[in-house]
Amino acid sequence: MMSFMKGRVLVVDDDTALAEMLGIVLRGEGFEPSFVADGDKALAAFRESKPDLVLLDLMLPGRDGIEVCRLIRAESGVPIVMLTAKSDTVDVVVGLESGADDYIVKPFKPKELVARIRARLRRSEEPAPEQLTIGDLVIDVAGHSVKRDGQSIALTPLEFDLLVALARKPWQVFTREVLLEQVWGYRHAADTRLVNVHVQRLRSKVEKDPERPEIVVTVRGVGYKAGPS
Amino acid sequence: MTGDSAASAPGGSGSRPGRPVGRATAGARFRRLFEGGLLQGGAKGSPVLRLFLRWMRRPLLPVMRLWRRNIQLRVVATTLLMSLGVVLLLGFVVIGQVRNGLLDAKVRASQSQATGGFAVAKQKADEAVGGTGGGTGAGTGAADGTSTPDGRQSQNVIQWMSDLVTSLASGGAGAFDVATLPVGDDSGGGRSPRGSGNVDPASSVPADLRERVNSGTTAAQSYTRIVYYNGKESQPALVIGKQVNDPNGRPYELYYLFPLTQEEKSLSLVKGTLATAGLFVVVLLGAIAWLVVRQVVTPVRMAAGIAERLSAGRLQERMKVTGEDDIARLGEAFNKMAQNLQVKIQQMEDLSRMQRRFVSDVSHELRTPLTTVRMAADVIHEAREDFDPVTARSAELLADQLDRFESLLADLLEISRFDAGAAALEAEPIDLREVVRRVVSGAEPLAERKGTRIRVVGDQQPVVAEADARRVERVLRNLVVNAVEHGDGKDVVVKLAAAGGAVAVAVRDYGVGLKPGEATRVFSRFWRADPARARTTGGTGLGLSIALEDARLHGGWLQAWGEPGGGSQFRLTLPRTADEPLRGSPIPLEPKDSRRNRGLDDAGLPRGGEEKRATVPVQHSGAQVPALPPRTSVAPGLATVTPAADPTALPGNGTGTRVVPRPAGGVRRPGDRTAESPAPDTNAARPDTAQPGDPTEPGEEFRGR
C-alpha cells in the first residue's frame, strides 16, 4: 500500500469548491494532489508536476478537456481519468477517443473515485518477468515493451494491460465485461464502450491493417480474443 | 328458362356433343339463379347476384380507377361528350332550317303548279261537257261521247283521262308527274288509276291523303315516295291532290307528284358537310381540352410530386415558376409555403437542439455542485462516529437523501433526454441471459433482505437479440427490483424465451399484484401503487417510465399484467433485430399460473384463498411454470421443466392464446405525450393473449413503441 502514498494526482478542474473537496478526499486517501483550473495552463502544470495520474474535467475554461487530454496523451501515457457531467454517448466516446483511460460521471461517491484511481495506478506494482507473444508481436511484461520485428511500439499503460490480458490466454474469448473487470478493475458491470474505444485505439497502433485486425480479433456477439500467433 | 330447357333436349346433341352439356349447365345455373333469387326470395339470391355484379365489374375496375384518378381524362371525356351533344343539337337545328327553307320554296311552286293543273283539268272537263251540249265539235271524241250510249261514253272518258294526264304531265317537262285515282272503288268509266312517267299511282299516293282528298273539295298535300312501274328507284316527293269531276260529272282524284330528288340531294350534301364539320369540331375540342387541361394539370401534378418529396423530408424542393399567371401564383404560393415550412421545421430543430443543449448544460451545472456536496456529505458520514448522536443521525439522513436526490436527478435527466429525442440506441447482438444474470446477481442483496428467492427460467439456450445492453439491463434491473420489492417475500421468476423474430423476458412476482386498470398506470411518471407503501420503498417513480421509453427505443414492448392478490408479470419483448417490427411475444402476457388460467374463479374462493392457491394442483400439462410454490417446496430441477422458448405462447398457435386487435383508444392514457409514438402502426392489430370481455379480467396493458 505504500506505493499509493506517493501517488501524485493532477486535478484539472475549474470548480474551486470541487477541486478543494477532491483535494480533501485524495489527501485523506494518501495521494498528493496538485491543482490547475485553466485548460491553457494544464499542460504546463502537467509537465511541471509529472503526476502519476490526471483527473480531468471535460468542461474547462480556455482549452476544453478533450483538447487537454489529447495534448497530454501526445507526450505521455499517464493514466487519465475524465470527470464528466455528461454520460451521453458522444461526450464519453469523444473523451475516450482523445486518449482518456477511464471516465467517471458526476456526481460520484468518493469511494468510487478512489477505487477508480487505484485501479489505474495498480500497475505500478512490480510485475513478474514474463515474455508473451500475440500474433507477430513480442511482449515483455516486466519491461513494459511491445516489439514487432525488433521495432518497439509505444502503448499507453492501459493499452499495454489490455494487450497483455488478451495475450495471456490466447485460447479464451474475453467478453467486454470480463475485460472491464480485468483491465479497468470494475467489479460491477460498467460501460462497455470503454472496451470498444480502447480496442480501436490499440488496433490503430498494433495492427498492420486496423480494418482487418489480426492481433485483436472480434468474436461477434461475444467479445474479443488474441489472434493466432 | 324454357328455351334453356329446350336446348338441353337430346335433339341437338348428335352433331355437337360438347355444346348441349354446356348449355345445360348454364341453364341449370340460370335456373338456380332464378329459383334461388326470384322464387325463394331475394335473401338467398342476392349473394349470387352480387357475385355476378362483381364478376362483371372486375374488368372495368382499372378503367374506373383511371377515371377517378385522372382529371385530364375526365375533362377530355366530358368535353367530348358535351361538344358532341352541342354539335348534334346544332346539326339538327341547321338541317331542319335548311330543309324547311328548301321545301317551303318547292311547296309554294308546287302548289301554284298544282292549282293551275286542277283548274286546267276542271276546265277541260267543262269544255268536254260544253262541247257535247253546243255541238261545236271542239272536243273531238268527247262531243259525240255524250250522245252515245254508256259504253261508248265510258270509252270516251278513258281516252279523255289519258289525254288529260298526258297533257298535264307534258306541261311539267319531267318536273312533276300526274296521276289519277278513282274515288273509292268506283273504278268504272275510265276512272281506273293511271299516271304519267310510269308512276304507280296506287302505291305512290298515301292512303291518308286520299281520305283527306275525298273528304273535301279543296286540295290537300302530303309527302310520299314515288313508286315506279319500270323498276326505277323510288324517290321522295311532294304529292298534291284534289277531287275533280270528269266530263260525266263523276268525281275522280287528280294528283300532282313533285319529286324532291334535288332537294334531298342538297339536304344530304348539307348533312354530310355538317357531319364532317361536327366531327372535326368534336375532335378538335377534345384535343383543345386535352391541351388546356394539360397546361393546368401539369403544374398541379408537379406540385403534387414536390409536395410528396417535401413531406418525405426533402425540404429544399421548390416548384419552377415561369410567367405571372395563376399557375405561377400557385407555384409562388407553394414555394412560399415550403419556405415557411422549412423555416418552421428548422426552428423546431433548433429548439429541440437548444432543449437538448439546455438539458445537457443543466445536467452539468447541477452535477458539479452536487458532486462537491456528495463528497462532503460522505466525508462527514464517514466521520459520524465522532459526532454527537443528533449530528451523526443528521449526517446519515444527509447521505441517504443525497442518494435519493441523485437518482431522482439522474432519472429526470434521462426522461428529459427521451423527451428531447436525444436518446440514441446502440444496438449490438447481446445474450439476454448474460444481462439477466448480471441483473439477478445485482438484485441478490435486496432479495436476501426481503427473503425472496429469484429464479431464472428458460436460460438453457442463448437468447440473443440486437439490443442496447445498458438500456436492457436498466429495464430488467428495474423490473426485478420492483418485483422483489412488491413480491411480499415470495418467489420472483424471471423467464426468458425466444421465438419468431422476438425475444422476451418476463418478470413474475406473487405479491400484492395490480388492481384492474393499474396495469395501464404503472408506467405513468411518478405514479405509485400505494401511497402508504411508497414511503418505505425507494425509487424515484420514474423507473418504469424510463423502462418503457427504453423498450420503445428498441421498437419493443413493455407490458404489465396483474391481478389483485395474485401478483403481477411484467414482460419485455424485443425484436431480434433492431429494425424488425414485432408481431408477437414468445411469452404470454398473462402467466399460465394466473388465477384465471388455473381455472379458479375469484368469486368461488374464500377470502383466504391466496395461501391455498399454492397447494392447488397444477392442471395444465408439461410446459407450465409451477404454480406459486411455497419457497421451501421449490424443487431444484423445476426450472428445467420449462423449455427456453415456448412456441405455444406465440400468438395464434397455442391453446389459450388468441389473436385480438390491440385496443386503439383505451390503451393510451390521456397523460401520454402525443409525440411518444412516431410509428404509423400504433393502431394496427396487435396479437396478444388478452381475452377481453371477461368481467374478472385483471388489469392488462398493451404497450409498445
User: In this structure, what CATH number is given to the domain that contains residue B141?
Assistant: 3.30.450.20
Instruction: Answer for the pair B547, B414: CB distance below 8 angstroms, yes or no.
Output: no
pLDDT digits (tens, 9 = 90+) for B120-152: 888 888 877 765 544 433 334 443 444 444 444
Residue B620, domain member (yes or no): no
Go through B526-557 and write b for each residue having 16 or more CB atoms within 10 A of its CB, e for each that does not: ebebeeeeeeeeebbebbbbbbbbbbbbbbbb
- On whether both B97 and B213 belong to a single domain, the answer is yes
Chain B positions touching A83 (Cβ under 8 A) are: 371
Please judge whether A106 and B464 are an interchain contact, meaning their C-beta atoms are less than 8 angstroms apart: no
Same domain, A35 and A103: yes
User: Do B249 and B133 lie in a common domain?
Assistant: yes
Closest CA to A226 of A162, A183, A178: A162
Answer whether B118's CB lies under 8 Å from B242's CB: yes
Residues A109 and A163 in one domain: no
Q: Within this chain, do residues B118 and B212 fall inside the same structural domain, yes or no?
A: yes
Residue B284 counted as domain residue: no
**pLDDT higher than 70, residue A10:** yes
Do residue B390 and residue B509 come from a single domain? no
Which of A17, A189, A191 lies at the smallest CB-CB distance from B372? A17
Asked if residue A146 and residue A113 are part of one domain, the reply reads no
pLDDT confidence of residue A168: 85
Last-in-domain residue among B266, B299, B334: B266
A20: confidence class by pLDDT, cuts 50, 70, 90: very high
- Residue B393 in grid coordinates: 443521525
| Nearest chain B alpha carbon to A59 | B364
**Per-residue pLDDT tens over the stretch B593-618:** 887 777 654 444 444 333 333 333 33
Does B348 share its domain with B389?
yes
Q: Which of B363, B368, B428, B435 to mutate to test the interface with A (most CBs of A within 10 A)?
A: B368
Contacts of B470 in chain A (CB under 8 A): 191-192
Which chain A residues are closer than 8 Å to B355 by Cβ?
none
Is there a contact between A18 and B371 if contact means CB atoms under 8 Å apart?
Answer: yes
Domain final residue pick, A105, A124, A143: A124
**pLDDT above 70 for B402:** yes
- Please give the grid coordinates belonging to residue A210: 486496423
Output phi, psi for B538, to 5 deg: -75, -150
Same domain, A20 and A96: yes
Facing A15 at nearest CB: one of B363, B368, B469: B368
Q: Encode pLDDT of B660-692 as tens digits.
A: 333 333 333 333 333 333 333 333 334 443 333
Q: Please give the pLDDT value at position B45.
A: 57
Residues A113 and A141 in one domain: no
Does residue B438 sit in the same domain as residue B417? no
Shared-domain flag, residues B440 and B583: yes
A197 interaction partners in chain B (CB closer than 8 Å): none
- Measured distance CA(B166)–CA(A165) in Å, rounded: 140
pLDDT of residue B187: 60
Rounded to two decimals, the pTM is: 0.50
- Domain's final residue, options B266, B290, B323: B266
State how far the Cα of B171 lies from the Cα of B183, in Å rounded to an integer. Answer: 25
Are A17 and B378 an interchain contact pair (Cβ–Cβ within 8 Å)?
no
Residues 125-154 of A with CB under 8 A from B: none
Q: Is B544 inside any structural domain?
A: yes
How many interchain CB pairs under 8 A, A with B? 73
Mean per-residue pLDDT over chain A, rounded:
84
Which range among A181-190, A208-217, B3-12, B80-89 has the greatest average pLDDT? B80-89
Same domain, B39 and B99: no
Residue B618 falls inside a structural domain: no
**In chain B, which residue's Cα lies nearest the Cα of A83?**
B368
Q: Which of residues 158-177 of A touch B (CB under 8 A)?
A: 175, 177
| Number of domains forming the structure of chain B | 4
Contacts of B590 (CB under 8 A, 6+ apart): B561, B569, B596, B597, B689, B690, B698, B700
For residue range B101-120, list pLDDT tens digits in order. Answer: 888 888 888 888 888 888 88
**Residue B252 domain-assigned (yes or no):** yes
Residue B339: inside a domain, yes or no? Answer: yes
Whether residue B371 and residue A177 make contact (CB cut-off 8 A), yes or no, is no
Instruction: Say yes or no: B210 and B332 in one domain.
Output: no
Claim to verify: residue A149 and residue A120 sit in the same structural domain: no
Please give the single-letter amino acid code of residue B2.
T
Contact A85 B367 (CB under 8 A): yes
Give me the CATH number covering residue A100.
Answer: 3.40.50.2300
Domain shared by A154 and A194, yes or no: yes
Question: What's the pLDDT score for residue B3?
Answer: 38
Q: Which domain holds residue B221?
A: 92-266
First to last CA, chain A: 37
Closest CA to B704 of B675, B673, B671, B681: B681
On whether both B64 and B101 belong to a single domain, the answer is: no
Q: Assess whether A136 and A59 both reside in one domain.
A: no
Chain A residue with minimum CA distance to B405: A107
Which chain A residues are closer than 8 Å to B365 by Cβ? 85
Is 50 exceeded by the pLDDT of residue B21? Answer: no
Q: Answer whether B375 sits within 8 Å of A21, measured CB to CB.
A: yes
A48 touches chain B (CB under 8 A): no
- Which pairing describes strands B251-259 and A174-175: parallel, antiparallel, or unpaired? unpaired
pLDDT for res B668? 37
What's the rounded Cα separation, in Å, for the pair A56 and A81?
Answer: 6
A215 with A105, same domain: the answer is no
Instruction: Check: CB of residue B48 under 8 Å from CB of residue B40.
Output: no
B61, B123: one domain: no
Specify the amino acid at residue B663. P
- Is there a contact between A88 and B360 if contact means CB atoms under 8 Å apart? yes
pLDDT for the residue A34: 93
Shared domain for A189 and A105, answered yes or no, is no
Q: Residues A34-67: pLDDT tens digits? A: 999 888 888 899 999 889 999 998 878 878 888 8
Q: Using a CB–CB cutoff of 8 Å, tell me whether A112 touches chain B.
A: no
* pLDDT averaged over every residue in chain B: 73
Residue ending a domain, choose from A88, A108, A124? A124
Tell me, what's the pLDDT at B188?
62
Check which CATH number belongs to the domain holding A191 and give it.
1.10.10.10
Domains contained in chain A, number: 2
Distances (CA, A) of B30 to A144, B48, B226: 98, 11, 51
Residues 185-224, chain B, touching A (beta carbon < 8 A): none
CB A202 within 8 A of CB A163: yes
Residues B122, B12 share a domain = no
CATH number at B581 reads 3.30.565.10
In angstroms, the CA A201 to CA A97 distance is 7
Q: Which of A124, A157, A180 is the last residue of a domain?
A: A124
- B541–chain A nearest CA distance, Å: 20
Interface test with B, best of A11, A14, A20, A21 (most B CBs within 10 A): A21
- The domain boundary residue, chosen from B421, B443, B459: B421
CB contact under 8 A, B360 and A86: yes
A181 and chain B in contact, CB less than 8 A: no
**Contact A192/B at CB under 8 A:** yes
Low-confidence winner among B26-40, B485-499, B535-549 (lowest mean pLDDT): B26-40
Tell me: do A55 and A112 sit in the same domain. Answer: yes
Pairwise CA distance, residues B407 & B11, whole Å: 98
- The span from the CA of B493 to the CA of B479, in Å, is 11
Distance CA A212, CA A45 (A): 40
Interface of B with A in 396-455 (CB under 8 A): 406, 417, 422, 424, 426, 428-431, 434, 438, 442
- Of residues B228 and A44, more confidence is placed in A44
Is residue B77 included in any domain, yes or no?
no
In this complex, do B370 and A106 lie within 8 Å of one another by their Cβ atoms? Answer: yes
Cell of B217: 273539295
The verdict on A14 touching B (C-beta cutoff 8 Å) is: no
Residue B157 forms part of a structural domain = yes
- Cβ–Cβ under 8 Å, residues B598 and B614: no
**HSE-up of residue B235 (Cα within 13 Å, Cβ side):** 17
Structural domain boundaries, residue A182: 131-226
Per-residue pLDDT reduced to its tens digit, B177-214: 888 888 766 666 666 777 777 788 778 888 888 888 88
Per-window interface: B 457-486 vs A, CB < 8 A: 464, 469-470, 473
Given a cut of 90, whether residue B697 has pLDDT beyond it is: no
CB contact under 8 A, B375 and A15: no
Please, which residues 349-378 of chain B have a Cβ atom closer than 8 Å to chain A? Answer: 360, 363-376, 378
Query: Based on the domain organization, do A84 and A171 belong to the same domain?
Result: no
